[in-house]
Amino acid sequence: MAVRERGLDQIRAISIEEGFSQSAASVIFRMGQTVVHCSAMSEERVPPFVQDGKGWVTAEYAMLPASSGQRIQRARNGRVDGRSQEIQRLIGRSLRAVVDMGALGPRTIYLDCDVLSADGGTRCASICGAYIAFVLATRKLQDKGLVDAEKIMLDEVAAISVGIVDGQAMVDLAYEQDVRAEVDMNLVMTGKGNLIEVQGTGERSTFSIEQLQELIKLGQGGIEQILEATRTYLKRG
């Protein structure tokens, strides 16, 4: 979608639907032509470094071979490329920031994010979908009498890309905008408006503090739009 086809502060169309998995809480999260399948499974154990009866949240991310215009090679022998490793760590950090590990208890939630179609913002869509899948997983645990789902979540979380394209600040960059961006940034924020992570780069130019503040404000508005859709979906659940 070109810049002129939507407002600079308008995100692409979002849809959230039940995922493919029969054995995990899962959703298909769409933003424009970017589509990610996110699932959450629990295991009644934690890594050795987690103690005092607390839980853990971790994530894996992958782009399926046909998700892009050029075929993506599958990971072999457990080898994960640097980009995927960075993104899955980001997803894990983003969710852990809004989870009470004590309330989760001595169990691990595994988040698996698989990109079905990539048109920019796959890491952001993965965080948004992973959050929804995580909430649904805690509800399943509550149904089994294992947790109080309400106490686990400290806040909501969502992520969005922002950037400066053709000299204009805009939110939610599709691929054609991302490759032309002078400044490219990803924001992860809570529902209360607190920042979890800011990843920003001057791709083709520098940017000022004022432009940074403009991008963060623009991103906050986009994240609120995502969270509105998220809340609506979770209320139905």
Separation CA 205–CA 217 (nearest Å): 20
Residuewise pLDDT in 10s, the chain (237 residues): 333 478 999 999 999 999 999 899 999 999 999 999 999 999 999 999 999 999 999 999 999 999 988 898 887 777 788 989 999 999 999 999 999 999 999 999 999 999 999 999 999 999 999 999 999 999 999 999 999 999 999 999 999 999 999 999 999 999 999 999 999 999 999 999 999 999 999 989 999 999 999 999 999 999 999 999 999 999 986
Separation CA 229–CA 52 (nearest Å): 36
pTM: 0.94
b/e for 134-171, b at 16 or more Cβ within 10 A? bbbbbbbbeeeeebebeebbeebbbbbbbbbbeeebbb
Q: In 3-state terms, what secondary structure has residue 102?
A: helix
Domains of the chain with CATH codes: 3-236 (3.30.230.70)
DSSP lists the bridge partners of residue 191 as none
The helix (run of H) or strand (run of E) holding residue 57 is: strand 56-63
Q: Are 88 and 80 in contact (CB under 8 A)?
A: yes
